[in-house]
Amino acid sequence: MRALIIAAIFLCTGCMRGTAPVQPIKFVNGSEMTWIIEKIMAKWENEEGRRLKLEHSEIRYRGNRMTLRLELSSQAILEVRYARYLMADFVEDILREINTDPIVSEGLISYPFSPDQLCIDINFESFFGKYVDPFYIGYIEMRQGMVRYYAFDQKDQERYLWHSRCEPYFKTREIASIQRATRKRFDSEHICPEPGYIEEYFDIGDPDNPECRYKRKF
């Protein structure tokens, strides 16, 4: 009888499967992520010929996956080739800043942060593409690592849905403070002080500082 009980215990324990430990959900530092995005946008607002304006951003969590969504607008007029250049440069800027930031990278569920975790929408709003030549790029969409380019005659106006937003006041104050700080920092590093008339008119940079550009006043 005792032998039967021991055998039964052995069989039961042998059939039991170990359960995998549940990975705890991690959250990135929201304020630091806002600083990163605004620092990137301070640069891209000044990219000649391909300026981008941030309309909306959010972080989404689903299970053990985090995604960053950015919705942007632009007045640039681009063919597909130059739209590819823009996307490659913009995405690489985001990945580099996120993965090299010690505060944000520490909170990532999976490291490194990869392109398939980005959801990017860029709406091109130039009247030239809308009324003159509809074959320029009118919309770019990036989802799960796939980038789709739409000409002005193929863009769906309903895709651009962030015409309103709701946020707590502390977030409004935080974003406003970060935006001002990042723009001030960018200007101090890249904009030359007190340009003369010739430099201002012809938008000439400082030969002693290639990163410095004179800001036009008109």
List pLDDT tens digits, range 42-74. Answer: 999 988 889 999 999 999 888 778 899 999 999
Q: What is the 3-state secondary structure (H, E, C) of the chain?
A: CHHHHHHHHHHHHHHCCCCCCCCCCCCCCHHHHHHHHHHHHHHHCCCCCCCCEEEEEEEEEECCEEEEEEEEEECCCCCHHHHHHHHHHHHHHHHHHHHHCHHHHHCCCCCCCCHHHEEEEEEECCHHHHHHCCCCEEEEEEECCEEEEEECCCCCHHHCCCCCCCCCHHHHHHHHHHHHHHHHHHHHHHECCCCCHHHHHHCCCECCECCCECCCCC
- Residue 118 has what pLDDT? 95
Reported as a single tens digit per residue, the pLDDT across 152-169 is 877 665 555 555 566 677
Instruction: Record the pTM.
Output: 0.72
- Residue 182 has what pLDDT? 87
- Residue 135 has what pLDDT? 79
pLDDT beneath 70: ranges in the chain: 1-25, 131, 155-167, 191-218
Mean pLDDT of the chain: 78
- Residue 83 has what pLDDT? 92
